[in-house]
Structure 1
């Protein structure tokens, strides 16, 4: 159930990244109306959605590089979110000095890290169709 939901979210993020970014800005910034977003911010969101879809929609194991990168990002976000928050602000916004972070940005970043780790864990598991076909192949 979770896998199709995350795939749908990834597809939505690829197709319409702006509402996703807007929601994140409303959650994390006290002044979301004052942001000066860099042009490539939408492409970064699309890349995140693509990673989700790539890892979760494949019936075989996803790319080891994408898996490893997402797992590393997830672990860093969970345990040491500050550098990633600062880096993402620098990459996404031109006016980082004007951003007013809400107090729950760090817990929200940790939750995002957990989400990344869930995607990695789900991508490592076989889907139900693959498990059945493997059992059938072994019995023949």
Structure 2
């Protein structure tokens, strides 16, 4: 079921990268209208979607690698949530200093990190049983 979810997320991300950015900004940023997203960021999101979709369809090494990376990334988000802001700002925005992050972003990033770790562990357990 996780593979199907990731596949659907990958397809959505591939087809609607601008909408993904809008949702991200609505949740994470206080002043989205005052910031300019890098022109190439939509392409980066689209590539991420393609990788997610291919990994979900193949269920081989790429999928296992992606899940391992997801778990590692989740642990970093959980233990160092402010690092997300320091990475996401320059990655997403042309002028990251002008970004005002929502006050509850840190808690949300921690929750996402915990979910990523849990998903990676559940997938690892599934792969070890197979």
Q: Normalised by the shorter chain, which TM-score bucket?
A: 0.7 to 0.9
1:20 equivalenced with 2:20 (yes/no) = yes
User: How high is the TM-score relative to the length of structure 2?
Assistant: 0.78
Partner of 1:138: none
Give unpaired runs (5+ residues) of structure 2: none
CA contact (8 A) 2:56 2:63 kept: no
User: How high is the TM-score relative to the length of structure 1?
Assistant: 0.73
Offset at residue 40 of structure 1 (A): 2.3
Rg larger for: 1
Change (3 A) 1:115 1:15: farther
2:109 and 2:44 map into 1 onto residues whose CA distance is 16
Give unpaired runs (5+ residues) of structure 1: 132-140
Partner of 2:110: 110
Moved over 6 A (4+): none
RMSD across aligned positions (CA): 2.5
Partner of 1:84: 84
Q: Work out the number of aligned pairs and report it.
A: 127
Partner of 1:96: 96
